[in-house]
Amino acid sequence: MASTRVGYSIIFTINSLLAWLMRTRWAIHALEKLTYDYLKMDCPSGKCYGVLAVHRFSFALSLFHAILALSLIGVKDTRTNRASIQNGWWGPKFLLWISLIFVSFAIPNEFFIFWSNYISLIGGSIFILVGLVLLVDFAHTWSETCLDRWEASQSNTWKYILLASTLGMYIASITFTVLLLVFFTGSKCVLNNVFLSIHSVLVVAITVLCISPSVQDANPKSGLAQASMVAAYCTYLTASAIINKDDENGECNAISGGYLASHTSTIVLGALFTLLAIAYSTTRAATQSKALVGKNKSKIEISGGEFHALENDTNDANENVISNQPKSSDNIRTQALLAAVEAGSLPASALQDAQDEAENENENDHDEDVINSEANDDEKSGTKYNYSWFHIVFILASMYVAMLLTDWNKIQSGSDNENGDQLVRIGRSPAAMWVRMISAWLCYFIYIWTLVAPVFFPDRFEGLH
């Protein structure tokens, strides 16, 4: 159900907002007071209280979805009793989520230091990979949808939408790349120069490759629309990596003094991408598994003593899925009426009357089924997406958001201070920069593979022609 996915997305959004609030000064001071001596630690400026609180919210939401994922393994349709856990029981689930948040604050700091440095880091990285695959998939889907609707309609609206989106993303990519070259490169900025050189070469490469004759022959729907979307997102990743890169002298970062603004923009754009990736990943299976259900009624026409079955087009019949099997009694009755009319014992109108009566009964049954299904659910015959995978995506997303909010910081713990208290240091690690850059390169690689795979393996991609 769509409402179910919306409900979980709301919980995810609220949890992310609460985690983000933990980075504010008033929240850090409140945590120092409320946790008393149980979570006391020697921490510069109290920063670690907020960072560990972010991971506590991430852990609570991850555990919440892990419990649901385990409880929903093997659920194929809503006739299974456990399906109600996914689509209902919102009150108990909300209380469970809140309870897990409180429980997370009772767990010692050492666990969350380990959680942030390893578990959350790995989970966030996996979500990035999943997100990149979804981005490339969405790029192809968007282009193909626009092309199909343009061909199906007599209007050029979808043509202009496709052209405008493609041109807009290319303009944005080129503009930001030029700005990065102007303000973040120089003779001493070797790493920035390498990053931007590789990025520029790859943008040109995918642009030329997507319109090359061999790729076009293998996949005629491939084009600049997909390449522009990949280029725009990879430009964002490259810019985010370079802007948030440490630069003590400020020679390779023209806005090094505006770290807060750049960091905030990174969080906002990253959070937006996360929500879109979650929405797309949890609905992709549903859109893929939807069956086009159509009526294929055959109407019998009587003309000059001959009977002709007027059926739907063969191609349409092959594409549609027949959901209701005809009853054997209906076939026998129809055959008997046909024989009686042919023998002259019954008028031809009797056959038409019988058919109209059968259609009325089918429509009444169909209306009752529709009313019942709408009142209950639309997954009685089968779920539209895998419930367990749905929650696994949320687990990975919550870890990614935690790493995003903490800028992929490395947390170190010790007890070497004079008072013997727990000493926690949080420092900006190069992980944030490298995660973004490697993600951009992986995105390019995945997209290039989708272009060349039909060329190298044409037998597996015959449906693209």
| pLDDT, tens digit, 9 for 90 and up, residues 423-443 | 555 555 677 788 889 999 999
Instruction: Note the pLDDT of residue 358.
Output: 61
The DSSP H or E segment spanning 427 is strand 423-427
Residue, of 144 and 415, whose pLDDT is higher: 144
Region 243-250: what's the mean pLDDT? 67
Q: Which residues of 320-346 are buried (b: 16+ CB within 10 A; e: fewer)?
A: eeeeeeeeeeeeeebeebeeebeeeeb
Q: Are 58 and 397 in contact (CB under 8 A)?
A: no
Instruction: Note the pLDDT of residue 4.
Output: 83
- Express each pLDDT in 338-380 by its tens digit: 666 666 666 666 666 666 666 555 555 544 444 444 444 556 6
Q: Is the pLDDT of residue 61 over 90?
A: yes
- Express each pLDDT in 406-417 by its tens digit: 878 777 765 554
CA 185 to chain centre: 35
Of 432, 434, 441, 439, the C-alpha closest to 405 is: 432
Measured between alpha carbons, how far is 200 from 268 in angstroms, rounded to an integer? 25
Torsion angle, CA of 374/375/376/380, rounded to 10 degrees? -30
Residue 255: CB atoms within 10 Å: 13
Least confident of 92-106, 141-155, 175-189, 368-382: 368-382
Q: Are 214 and 232 in contact (CB under 8 A)?
A: no
At 404, list the tokens: 């995003």
Measured between alpha carbons, how far is 290 from 295 in angstroms, rounded to an integer? 16
Q: In the beta sheet, which residues pair with residue 423?
A: 42, 414
* The residue type at 348: A
Q: Are 177 and 186 in contact (CB under 8 A)?
A: no
Q: Are 199 and 234 in contact (CB under 8 A)?
A: yes
* The residue type at 122: I
Region 200-214: what's the mean pLDDT? 94
At 458, list the tokens: 């044409």
Beta strands in 110-223 (DSSP E): none
Of 194, 198, 189, 199, the C-alpha closest to 253 is: 189
Q: Are 244 and 194 in contact (CB under 8 A)?
A: no
List of residues 6+ apart from 150 with CB closer than 8 A: 156, 158, 159, 162
DSSP, collapsed to helix, strand or coil, labels residue 90 as helix
Region 110-125: what's the mean pLDDT? 89
DSSP 278-335: HHHHHHHHHHHH---------EEEEETTEEEEE---HHHHHHS---SPPPHHHHHHHH
Residue indicated by tokens 């989970």: 123
Percent of the residues in the chain that have a pLDDT greater than 70, as a whole number: 63
DSSP 28-47: HHHHHHHTTTTT--B-GGGH
What are the CA-CA distances from residue 348 to residues 74, 121, 298, 309, 414 (Å)? 53, 75, 16, 15, 94
Residue, of 177 and 5, whose pLDDT is higher: 177
- pLDDT mean across residues, the chain: 76
Helical spans, DSSP H, in 376-416: 387-405
At 455, list the tokens: 């060329």
Measured between alpha carbons, how far is 121 from 132 in angstroms, rounded to an integer? 17
